[in-house]
């Protein structure tokens, strides 16, 4: 059994690779200003970075969970998501409304991807 921790920190790793699966922690924007579309673009860029570090890509995404602090932001979040998505290989996805740790953060996304 092989476990690799990517970008480990004090409380969590940015991602954990176990055998042929990459688990990406909840990613949020670095800054708590900006629209949900701007924050979503930043979060998706972080996910791209972790996918690359873990030996995966958007084409190998299996599942995403999107957490919005206001479900009214659903359409705006989807603008950024739809522009980023590999439409030939869409993952499963759930989107829920919830409070985030910082009330100014508008979106958090977790992901699971396959690794060759």
Residue 32: the pLDDT is: 79
Residue 14, SS3? strand
DSSP strand pairing (61-68 vs 92-97):
parallel
Instruction: Count other Cβ atoms within 10 Å, centred on residue 60.
Output: 20
Return d(Cα 15, Cα 17) in angstroms, integer: 7
pLDDT tens, position by position, 54-106 = 999 999 999 999 999 999 999 999 999 999 999 999 999 999 999 999 999 99
Q: Which domains does the chain have, with CATH numbers?
A: 3-114 (3.30.1330.40)
Confidence (pTM): 0.96
pLDDT tens, position by position, 34-53 = 899 999 999 999 999 999 99
């Amino acid at each position: 059994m092989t476990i690799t921790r990517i970008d480990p920190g004090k409380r969590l790793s940015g991602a954990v690779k176990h055998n042929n699966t990459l688990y990406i922690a909840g990613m949020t924007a670095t800054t708590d200003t900006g629209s949900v579309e701007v924050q979503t673009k930043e979060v998706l860029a972080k996910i791209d970075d972790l996918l690359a570090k873990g030996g995966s890509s958007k084409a190998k995404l299996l599942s995403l969970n999107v957490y919005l602090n206001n479900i009214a932001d659903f359409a705006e979040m989807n603008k950024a998501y739809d522009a980023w998505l590999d439409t030939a290989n869409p993952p499963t996805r759930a989107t829920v409304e919830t409070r985030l740790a910082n009330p100014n953060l508008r979106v958090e996304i977790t992901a699971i991807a396959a690794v060759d």
